[in-house]
């Protein structure tokens, strides 16, 4: 396959556009059909073949502009020069100084491209490598001999030598600048996506409590991505064929046309429960950060889980559905923390509030999700109420930001709640949260 295309596909892949081998082959066939001649047609065609969702189309557009602006030279031309190169063996490259002074843009950029290829500039991954690759490119273009000439001129001294040296210095600066530009472009095309990916992976594994403000935007983007991923996975139709149980009524109706002889057998189908989640969040200082991300994730999945209710407490417990619905997420979160985050934590009080005001929300298809460290300031944990909820609900899942070694130490009462939970999970990172939510939704499939 042609190199410009394979490189372009590599760039797409590094920016999170999934291109399968089959699609790459399609792209090659498209090229054969369309050719490089008409740039806008090339763009439309490749967009058809390679980018298959609105998000991917946007990334595609950006990369196409970047990538195909770089090789201003039509590829046919390039092949020709390659041939020349091969036939002439490793012939002398034209003198660097002459080349730069000739002002022949085409020749200069061709030489740059060649140097970039030799230096492997397109393998760039991080922005910190730009300088390195630029240097390698200069070297490939004969930077060393330039350096030698410069030294020689300086040694020679005198007016003649000085002006010669100045000329060479200018050329070197110009050359380095161009090489840098080329390397930066390579980074935009090939490296930026991967760097992003790398940082994302890093952030997803970082402790949520250790995230600082600068990570916030990234985390938000990540949460959106996770929500989308989970939504796709869990938005499948909730229907299951119950083979083995004949639906007599529908079978008879389906076969009325053939005299009631059961050619088409209809089996009973069972509709699956839609997920219903009641999430109860301890918003006292130690847990608040986790609540933020859990709620953000759950709220981004409203489409999949329309039946979602959130409560917050530290002392008194209250519903926060309305606040979340009416404000954008950050404002809502600030309001919630202001309203509920100040009390001294009492799980017992929270359970009795839940029992009195909202008990009817918990039914047999509800997953009760509790996020908290179960540190109740030595108050009565009201295990009796918790047990009652657990028997009403489908399942109870407890997400604890504290690690298992700390469970039961000091005022932590998690061991007393644990027998009634289907699961008590330690959540520290975004990945843990994703896994927990995935697990909850899977129970409905």
List interacting residues with another protein (CB under 8 A): 18, 20, 22-23, 26, 29-30, 33-34, 40-41, 44-45, 47-49, 51-54, 57-58, 231-232, 235-237, 257-259, 261, 263
The C-alpha atoms of residue 417 and residue 259 are separated, in whole angstroms, by 61
Concatenating the DSSP letter of every residue in 74-123 gives: -HHHHHHHHHHHHHT-SPPPPPHHHHHHHT-HHHHHHHHHHHHHHHTGGG
- Residue 54 sits at φ, ψ, to 5 deg, of -55, -45
The C-alpha atoms of residue 180 and residue 124 are separated, in whole angstroms, by 12
Give min distance, CB of 253 to another protein, in A.
Answer: 14
Give min distance, CB of 254 to another protein, in A.
Answer: 11
The C-alpha atoms of residue 30 and residue 48 are separated, in whole angstroms, by 10
Nearer to another protein by Cβ, of 266 and 406: the residue is 266
Give min distance, CB of 331 to another protein, in A.
Answer: 19
Beta strand pairing status for 395-400 and 267-271?
A: unpaired
Nearer to another protein by Cβ, of 54 and 405: the residue is 54
Nearer to another protein by Cβ, of 49 and 308: the residue is 49
Nearer to another protein by Cβ, of 241 and 435: the residue is 241
Where do the DSSP E strands lie in 254-328? 267-271, 276-282, 307-313, 317-319
Give min distance, CB of 44 to another protein, in A.
Answer: 4
The three-state secondary structure class of 31 is helix
Distances (CA, A) of 45 to 39, 42, 189, 322, 425: 10, 5, 20, 47, 49
Give the contacts of 272 (CB within 8 A, at least 6 positions apart).
238, 239, 240, 444, 445
Give min distance, CB of 434 to another protein, in A.
Answer: 18
Nearer to another protein by Cβ, of 57 and 416: the residue is 57
Nearer to another protein by Cβ, of 127 and 327: the residue is 327
CA atoms within 13 A on the CB side of 229: 12
The DSSP code for 47 is H
Beta strand pairing status for 423-426 and 395-400?
A: parallel
The C-alpha atoms of residue 200 and residue 401 are separated, in whole angstroms, by 21
Give min distance, CB of 4 to another protein, in A.
Answer: 19
Nearer to another protein by Cβ, of 21 and 90: the residue is 21
Give min distance, CB of 271 to another protein, in A.
Answer: 12
Give min distance, CB of 266 to another protein, in A.
Answer: 11
Nearer to another protein by Cβ, of 94 and 257: the residue is 257
């Amino acid at each position: 396959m042609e190199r410009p295309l394979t490189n372009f596909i590599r760039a797409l892949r590094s920016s999170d556009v999934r291109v399968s081998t089959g699609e790459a082959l399609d792209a090659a066939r498209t090229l054969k059909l369309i050719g490089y001649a008409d740039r806008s047609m090339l763009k439309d065609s490749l967009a058809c073949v390679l980018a298959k969702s609105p998000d991917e189309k946007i990334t595609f557009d950006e990369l196409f502009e970047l990538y195909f602006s770089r090789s201003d030279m039509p590829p046919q031309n390039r092949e020709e020069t390659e041939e020349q190169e091969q036939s002439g063996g490793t012939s002398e490259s034209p003198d660097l100084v002459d080349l730069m002074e000739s002002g022949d843009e085409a020749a200069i950029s061709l030489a740059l491209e060649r140097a970039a290829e030799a230096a492997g500039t397109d393998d760039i991954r991080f922005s910190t490598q730009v300088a390195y690759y630029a240097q390698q490119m200069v070297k490939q273009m004969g930077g060393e001999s330039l350096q030698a000439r410069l030294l020689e001129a300086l040694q020679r001294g005198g007016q003649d030598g000085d002006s010669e040296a100045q000329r060479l210095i200018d050329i070197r600066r110009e050359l380095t600048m161009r090489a840098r530009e080329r390397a930066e472009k390579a980074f935009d095309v090939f490296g930026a996506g991967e760097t992003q990916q790398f940082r994302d992976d890093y952030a997803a594994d970082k402790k949520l409590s250790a995230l600082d403000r600068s990570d916030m935007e990234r985390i938000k983007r990540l949460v959106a991505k996770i929500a989308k991923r989970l939504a796709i996975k869990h938005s499948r139709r909730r229907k299951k064929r119950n083979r083995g149980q004949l639906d007599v009524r529908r079978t008879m109706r389906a076969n009325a046309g053939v005299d009631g002889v059961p050619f088409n057998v209809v089996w009973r189908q069972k509709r699956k429960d839609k997920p219903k989640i009641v999430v109860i969040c301890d918003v006292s200082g130690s847990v608040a950060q986790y609540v933020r991300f859990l709620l953000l994730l759950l709220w981004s999945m409203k489409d999949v889980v329309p039946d979602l209710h959130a409560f917050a407490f530290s002392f008194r417990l209250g519903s926060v559905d309305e606040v979340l619905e009416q404000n954008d997420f950050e404002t809502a979160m600030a309001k919630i923390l202001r309203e509920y985050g100040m009390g001294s934590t009492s799980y017992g009080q929270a359970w009795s509030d839940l029992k009195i005001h909202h008990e009817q929300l918990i039914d047999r298809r509800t997953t009760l999700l509790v996020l908290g460290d179960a540190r109740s300031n030595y108050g009565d944990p009201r295990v009796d109420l918790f047990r009652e909820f657990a028997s009403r609900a489908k399942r109870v899942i407890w997400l604890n930001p504290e690690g298992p070694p700390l469970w039961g130490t000091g005022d932590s009462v998690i061991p007393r709640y644990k027998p009634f939970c289907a699961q008590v999970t330690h959540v520290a990172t975004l990945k843990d949260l994703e896994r927990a939510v995935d697990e909850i939704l899977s129970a409905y499939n």
